[in-house]
Amino acid sequence: MSMPTLIMDHEVESHLRKIAEALDKPVAECLRDAVMQYVEDRQDYLIAARALAREEPSITLDELEQRLGLGR
């Protein structure tokens, strides 16, 4: 599988290297983790957007917890 080339400015690269060093991880692993987090966030957003577009009745988390007897 061919991977795209990632081009970033020196400031971003410097920050990324510092984070990788602090986590004792390779830069490539930090990039993969960041991309996976982005993909998961976008998937969650798209699921939520589709749910909102259906305009179905909804309740708040507090209401759900109350209905389930999970009061805080």
pLDDT in tens, 10-37: 999 999 999 999 999 999 999 999 999 9
The residue-averaged pLDDT of 60-68 equals 93
Where residue 9 falls among pLDDT bands split at 50, 70, 90? very high
**4 Cβ neighbours under 8 A, 6+ residues apart:** none
For the packed helices 27-53 and 10-23, what is the interaxial angle rounded to 10 degrees? 100
The structure's pTM equals 0.69
Confidence check: pLDDT of 41 > 90: yes
Q: Is the pLDDT at 72 greater than 70, yes or no?
A: no
